[in-house]
Structure 1
Amino acid sequence: MKSIEIPHFSPQTFAVTFAEMFAVENLYLINQIIRMRQNPTLKKIAERLNVSISTVSRALKDHPDISPETGRKIKELAELLEYDPNPYAVNLRTHSSREFAIVVPSLSNFFYHSFIGSIEEEARIYGYSVVIYRSSNDAKIEQEILKSCRHKRVSGIFIAITSETDDMEPFLKMDVHGIPVIFFDKVPQYESCNKICVGDEHAALLAAEEIIRKDIPNVLGIFGDPNMSITRARLQKFATVLHQNGSAVHLETAHARSSAEAEQITLSLLPEWMDKKFAVFCMSDEILAGAMKAIQRKGLSAPADLGVIAISDGMIPLLFYPEITYAETSGSKLGKLAFSRMMRCIAGSSFAQTIIDESKLVVGGSI
């Protein structure tokens, strides 16, 4: 009879062999996890735990039909794999991204910074995120942005339109796709839409009344793009108040589409005014920044050499000494009003509304 030699395993040998086997098993699991992490999906989680995709989906949403034990296993694996829902798939399924778009002509405007910050704060509270687009005051770019928003199925759009925008049809079509549009600051003349405006006429009235109160006989008014309704409203009210009740105030106006243009216009016109008692009125923060740069380049100071008054969000006037007197138009307050209106639209409000935030005079020492 042939004897069979049985190998002898010492406890130490067995321990090493078991450890090696355990390490190999762990390495296999680690490799599996790494591969799954590269593109974690509901299907992969379901296959790994031998459950249905719908079970995984419901467990991640804390559905009451899923047992606590199953829910715990699914959530632990999802966390291990660093699983995040595909936002585009969610958008297709729910027809909404829980994302708001904010479209502005420029990002160099403090008023818009203030407005955007206010929207972001409110959106975060309600579980929404915000994406910001810059149209560069170009109607064609604006239209491309609208297409992108429609394809992404954003929950709503806040927009300050360009000076070239005259076709309302693309905006009206957004409503067909269930995407509310809230116009703010630079708004269309079209009546049947939601508009959130600063008190343009009221702000212009406050500035004009302060000039009359200070008994200033000559005013250089620098306004924005003449094609914009905001410019027309402020100019008309400002001029009307200055000339009412037989006032003898002499008003000359100029238009600037940017801070740089406002600077150049002010530089070119100031020499004609130096032998007069006068004030410079700036329609916006952007124009104020350019005009003040020109005034400083000429070595002038307010109120010793001239008066300066503006319509402003409030940040730019604080950068100078003495501080600039201004009629306040708050981007932050406008943002809160716009967000409130947006949420009402999402809740089902179908009527168009125009909301105006009235201004107040903030007295500095520039006039």
Structure 2
Amino acid sequence: MPPFDVPEGDPFGPHNLPYGVFSTPSSPRTVGVRLGDHVLDAGAAAGALGSPYADLLARPTLGPLLAAGRTAWSDVRRALTAWVTVPAHQEVIADFLHPLPSVELHLPFEVADYVDFYASENHARNVGQIFRPDGEALTPNWKHLPIGYHGRSGTVVVSGTDVVRPSGQRKTPADAAPVFGPSVKLDIEAEVGFVVGVPSALGRPVGLGDFREHVFGLCLLNDWSARDVQAWEYVPLGPFLGKSFATSVSAWITPLDALEEARLAPPERTHELLPYLDDTVPEVEPGGYDLRMSVAINGHEVSRPPFATMYWTAAQQLAHMTVNGASLRTGDLYGSGTVSGPTADERGSLLELTWNGRDVLELPDGKRTFLEDGDVVTLSAWAPGPGGARVGLGDVVGRVVPGDR
């Protein structure tokens, strides 16, 4: 089938066009745009068609495009749509399309800072019930602000990168003293990551209404977690080595403009919000997204987390992240936090799916409470698109490999 004849219903048709960075055995890294099961060399196509944005696209990273701002993002997207749908343009750029299996995909942008949030009420309640069975499931601040922590940008890796089982200190209540060794409670967190394009000035908060001026797009994200290491270290300052060893992201960044049909109102607010977070006023656009996620271990689906249930939106997270005057940088990445729905088959972590190891997860290749060496975790998702189409988000795949003993 010719590259432009994308089958009807393909989630990566011209209505989607996510961005990535790729290379071939004979050419260096450059910006690519996915169309079906092919990748368009966006810089070469722009050059051949005389686009004024050729210099932004003929780069080894998405950084310059991210920094160019919303007008450029919209212009480039309109141009790309025309290039892959208008026959005269197709004739010019046909040679710049590469079959997906023939290219190598890379981390699409340089991660500046990485922040992870805790925005699912279902997830937060589950975790609270697991660790505080006799107390309140939610902490007193949870309904008043998006809780988050700073992660490690240097260990954000692209989908397909092996994840080495981390080692660290751990201590169970039965242990007299901590021990050191490989994590025995290696877990996943099914999340959505938001990619910042336009920076902001130090000391100047970003308001709810400016979310789409700064955030270029989103991707799937797996925030791998060593639950036993985290449990011993996180009091009183929060996650550290239990989280910092690896965070996997998709090779494809879906622009927000491809997700217009997926926008919706978040869950009803149960507590009055301070003005900088108040998204109930008419002038604030709906901040939720209807993303249908799937978690699979070794090819077997174990969960379908619904992003539409997330209590705190990405716009609120951005506003809170900057309300103290912290500045944004091009390439900042922030994760939504684990996505979990209200039912047992919608939980986005093994911590919840197995209730911290109490309940065994039955897989075709054996039983699991947490991840074993050799396990392959795949996150995938789609969103409603125009005319009933689906907008595919690029998969996030990671295989667990043993670390040094």
- Pairwise TM-score range, normalised by the shorter structure: under 0.3
Could you say which structure has the higher helix fraction? 1
**TM-score in terms of structure 2 length:** 0.24
Higher relative contact order (CA 8 A, sep 6+): 2
Could you say which structure has the higher strand fraction? 2
